[in-house]
Amino acid sequence: MVLKYRKINPDGSVSGGPMHYLSKGLAAQGKSGMGKVLAILFAIACIGGSFGGGNMVQINQATQQFQSLLPADSFLAMNGWVFGVVMSVVVGVIIIGGIKSIAKITDKVVPFMVGIYVLAALIVIGANISNIGWAFGQIIGGAFDPDALYGGIIGVMIQGFKRAAFSNEAGIGSASIAHSAAKTDEPVSEGIVALLEPFIDTVVICTMTALVIIFANYGDYTAQSAFEATSTGGNDAGIKLTSSAFAQTISWFPYVLAVAVILFALSTMISWSYYGLKAWTYLFGESNSSQNVYRILFCLFVIVGSAISAKQVFDFGDTMIFAMCFPNVLGLYFLMPEVRKDLRNYLQRVKSGEIKRFN
């Protein structure tokens, strides 16, 4: 859907994503009115999501980790907005370059930071491998604990859904905006490639983070205090909990983690700036002045996110990302028959040898 219904601009640039496949795809089914409404709703929510979850949450967590390494009474520890100003300038320089500039940064930063993080996680897990029985006992016991089952199951599920959607963006539609710029003649193949993203993000990175925390016996926290800190609005505790868990085995790793978190935040912000920009231009046009207004606003929100509380940015980010889900999933429900048809056609051509298979 993403590549079939993307828009090729006169200058050769590409605009795609849910805004386009909802409006054009549903119009092809005779539902043009519904398609336009869903596309506009998605674009509005995507702009809010780029400012919230894709911007303020990222810089807020990076600021929290950066400040945790400084003396509590130092100027930078008490004025997170200064760090936000620096990051705002860095983000601004990168996003002015457009999608090519963004790709050059992320294709170097992302593999590097993922490699460092996974390696450190494996070291922590290996150093505490004797706790494997206890750790999985904690996981299984916590999942089937009567108090959790009857008392907090709804709250835990809601929190889990929010963090899962925030983590891998499955069903949200944001990543499809980036995939629309792919150079390929086979839309289905790009969709298959896209399946790898939530696997690496959630199954690998998030699972390893959870295992590190449990294997390290929650770092400086207890199981109860860790749960309370991360489930009652104290979202800033998440990065602190992770940092203390790594520090139990690798005392100096919080410094490396700070760099990794900043790189994670930077790559996420510049990617979301592209998503938000495409939603913005869908509503307000492709002119340079329109794009510059968005870029300036995005950089200003970097500063805002570094200065306000974690709870505020998470609440706003969750709301906007959740809002993106509704028009996208509803539209995809009507587009499923077309997706199914295209997938079958693609697999038949692979099987027949019309499309070469590379092993």
Q: What is the pLDDT of residues 222-237, one digit of tens each?
A: 666 665 555 554 445 6
| Residue 314 CA neighbour count, 13 Å, CB half | 19
User: Over 50: is that where the pLDDT of 23 sits?
Assistant: yes
Q: Quote the tokens at residue 219.
A: 């770092």
Q: Quote the tokens at residue 316.
A: 């706003």
pLDDT class for 214, splitting at 50, 70, 90? confident
Q: Quote the tokens at residue 176.
A: 């499809």
Mean pLDDT of the 65-93 span: 84
The pLDDT value recorded for residue 38 is: 93
Q: What is the H or E stretch that residue 8 is in?
A: strand 7-8
The pLDDT value recorded for residue 113 is: 76
Contacts of 295 (CB under 8 A, 6+ apart): 92, 95, 96, 273, 277
Pinpoint the alpha helices (H) of 169-252: 175-179, 187-194, 196-198, 207-215, 223-231, 236-247
Average pLDDT, the chain: 79
User: Over 80: is that where the pLDDT of 92 sits?
Assistant: yes
pLDDT class for 271, splitting at 50, 70, 90? confident
Mean pLDDT of the 177-183 span: 77
The pLDDT value recorded for residue 233 is: 46
**Residue that wins the pLDDT comparison between 193 and 359:** 193
The pLDDT value recorded for residue 10 is: 76
Cβ neighbourhood burial of 337 (10 Å; 0-12, 13-18, 19+): exposed
Query: Is the separation of the CB atoms in 180 and 19 below 8 Å?
Result: no
pLDDT class for 146, splitting at 50, 70, 90? low
DSSP assignment of 159-193, as one string? HHHHHHHHHH-TTT-SHHHHHTT---S-HHHHHHH
User: Over 80: is that where the pLDDT of 286 sits?
Assistant: yes
Mean pLDDT of the 109-122 span: 81
The pLDDT value recorded for residue 176 is: 83
Q: Which residues pair with 15 in a beta bridge?
A: 7
User: Over 60: is that where the pLDDT of 99 sits?
Assistant: no
Residue 17 Ramachandran class (φ > 0 left, ψ -120 to 50 alpha, else beta)? left
Query: Is the separation of the CB atoms in 55 and 272 below 8 Å?
Result: yes
pLDDT class for 211, splitting at 50, 70, 90? confident
Interstrand relation of 7-8 and 14-15 (parallel, antiparallel or unpaired) = antiparallel
Sign of the Cα pseudo-torsion (238, 242, 245, 251, in order): negative
Q: Quote the tokens at residue 123.
A: 């070291």
Q: Quote the tokens at residue 144.
A: 């089937």
Query: Is the separation of the CB atoms in 212 and 242 below 8 Å?
Result: yes
pLDDT digits (tens, 9 = 90+) for 24-40: 888 888 888 999 999 99
Q: Can you give the residue ranges of every domain in the chain? A: 7-352
User: Over 80: is that where the pLDDT of 192 sits?
Assistant: no
Share of the chain above pLDDT 90, in %: 12
Sign of the Cα pseudo-torsion (206, 207, 212, 214, in order): positive
**Residue that wins the pLDDT comparison between 218 and 45:** 45
Among candidates 26, 6, 94, 49, which has minimal Cα distance to 336?
26
Instruction: Indicate the residue type of 302.
Output: V
User: Over 90: is that where the pLDDT of 220 sits?
Assistant: no
